[in-house]
């Protein structure tokens, strides 16, 4: 089971003005990529994530998650 | 509609895309269709066509047109509002506004559009979702946006239509006394089951 999926048909370039995960207001134009984390994976992901540690998450979790985002971004950015 | 500010205003409270509170000026009225007052329990769809007047260029501005059940309150989540959104910076070309949809205290916008058409849904106590399409000066659709409000509440509250004016940002080129905003908003509301 993958840790996450990107809904590639819903990737778009928009400006979002909202509050981020740190509680800060931001206004940024960029690619909006819907990332879906299966409920069945949430427990394992959060158990193995320590926000206070700069080396968390480990590669076994961070790389698959990063590749989901980057593959969707690459597909959207390079489409004709 | 032309609005003139009587005093300078800045800060997050006068920016419709910053929470947690909204103190920016707004006007509202009950939504009544064929003599029936629409409530938060009714399935309702409110369509807006919103456009800024490019001849007025006084400050970095924003405008919201929305449905709301408590537009008179200040906390964004208590207002329970969602609808269309217009914004423009000083000096922006008259056909290149940043337009979109707005829920509670956040907006999703599409750049370089002239006017915005959006549909805001509400019913069963939920604030609902808003989707919109931006159009260029040639009436060509070029960019769509949507937002979910993710807020739920009571089903017996009177639904209101609201228009709010304010700043695009918390600081910088914010409204000064005597500054104007000029825009047009057309709307049509329908319900299923009233």
**In Å, how far are B50, B86, B174, B184 from B53, measured between CA atoms?**
10, 11, 18, 8
Is residue A60 predicted with pLDDT exceeding 70? yes
Cα within 13 Å of Cα(A68), Cβ side: 15
Q: Which residues contact B91 (CB under 8 A, 6 or more apart)?
A: B57
Torsion sign over Cα B11, B101, A31, B173: negative
Instruction: Give the architecture-level CATH label for domain B2-192.
Output: Sandwich (2.60)
Residues B61, B66, B72, B74: is their CA dihedral positive or negative? Answer: negative
Domain residue extents for chain B: 2-192
| Residue A50 CA, distance from chain mean position | 17
Q: For B50-74, what is the mean pLDDT?
A: 96
**Cβ-defined contact of A14 to B106 (cutoff 8 Å):** no
**Is residue A2 within 8 Å of residue A68, measured between CB atoms?**
yes
CA distance A25 to B24: 18
User: Which residues on chain B place their C-beta less than 8 Å from a C-beta of chain A?
Assistant: 12, 17-19, 98, 100, 105-111, 143-145, 169-170
- How buried is B113 (Cβ within 10 angstroms: 0-12 exposed, 13-18 middle, 19+ buried)? buried
**Mean pLDDT value of segment A52-60:** 96
3-state secondary structure B83-145: EEEEEECCCCCCCCEEEEEEECCEEEEEEEECEEEEEEEEECCECCEEEEEEECCCCCEEEEE
Question: Which residues of chain A lie closer than 8 angstroms to B111, CB-CB?
Answer: 15, 29
C-alpha span between B116 and B142 (Å, rounded): 10
Reported as a single tens digit per residue, the pLDDT across B79-138 is 999 999 999 999 888 888 999 999 999 999 999 899 999 999 999 999 989 999 999 999
Pick the residue with more confidence: B112 or B71? B71
Q: Give yes or no for residue B4 having a pLDDT over 70.
A: yes
Split at pLDDT 50, 70, 90, the class of A25 is confident
Per-residue model confidence (pLDDT) at position B142: 84
DSSP tally for chain B: helices H, then strands E: 1, 14
> What ipTM was assigned to the predicted interfaces of this complex?
0.81
* Distance between A58 CA and the closest CA of chain B, angstroms: 32
Beta bridge partners of A32: A12
Q: Which residue, chain included where needed, has tokens 């961070």?
A: A62
The pLDDT value recorded for residue B94 is 81
pLDDT for the residue B146: 95
A39-45 contact pairs (CB < 8 A, 24+): A40/A1, A41/A1, A41/A2, A41/A3, A41/A4, A45/A3
CB contact under 8 A, B110 and A15: yes
Instruction: Answer whether residue B19 shows pLDDT above 90.
Output: no
Interface test with A, best of B15, B85, B106, B129 (most A CBs within 10 A): B106
Percent of chain A with pLDDT over 90: 82
| pLDDT value of position B54 | 87
Tokens describing residue B135: 């159009």
How high does pLDDT run on average in chain B? Answer: 95
Q: Tens of pLDDT along B136-179? A: 999 999 889 999 999 999 999 999 999 999 999 999 999 999 99
| CA distance linking residue A33 with residue A10, whole number of Å | 7
* Residue spans per domain, chain A: 5-78
Residues of chain B above pLDDT 90, percent: 90
pLDDT of residue B194: 55
Question: What average pLDDT does this structure show over B33-40?
Answer: 95
Give the per-residue pLDDT at B60.
95
pLDDT band, residue A31 (cuts 50/70/90): very high
């Amino acid at each position: 089971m993958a840790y996450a999926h990107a809904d590639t048909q819903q990737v778009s370039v928009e400006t979002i003005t909202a509050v981020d995960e740190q509680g800060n207001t931001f206004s940024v134009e960029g690619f909006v990529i819907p990332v879906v984390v299966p409920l069945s994976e949430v427990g394992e992901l959060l158990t193995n994530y320590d926000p206070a540690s700069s080396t968390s998450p480990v590669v076994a979790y961070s790389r698959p998650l990063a590749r989901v985002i980057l593959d969707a971004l690459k597909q959207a950015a390079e489409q004709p | 509609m032309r609005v003139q500010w009587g005093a300078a205003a800045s800060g997050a409270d006068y920016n419709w895309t910053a929470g947690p509170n909204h103190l920016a000026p707004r006007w509202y009225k009950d939504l009544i269709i064929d003599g029936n007052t629409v409530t938060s329990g009714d399935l309702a769809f409110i369509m807006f066509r919103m456009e800024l007047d490019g001849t007025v260029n006084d400050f970095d501005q924003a405008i919201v047109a929305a449905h709301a059940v408590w537009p008179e309150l200040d906390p964004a989540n208590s207002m329970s509002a969602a609808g269309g959104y217009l914004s423009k910076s000083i000096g922006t070309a008259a056909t290149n506004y940043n337009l979109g949809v707005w829920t509670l205290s956040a907006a999703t916008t599409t750049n370089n559009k002239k006017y915005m058409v959006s549909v805001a849904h509400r019913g069963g106590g939920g604030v609902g979702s808003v989707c919109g399409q931006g159009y260029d000066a040639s009436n060509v659709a070029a960019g769509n946006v949507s937002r979910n409000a993710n807020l739920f509440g009571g089903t017996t509250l009177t639904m209101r239509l609201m228009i709010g004016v304010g700043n695009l940002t918390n600081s910088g080129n914010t409204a000064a006394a005597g500054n104007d905003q000029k825009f047009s908003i057309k709307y049509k509301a329908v319900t299923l089951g009233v």
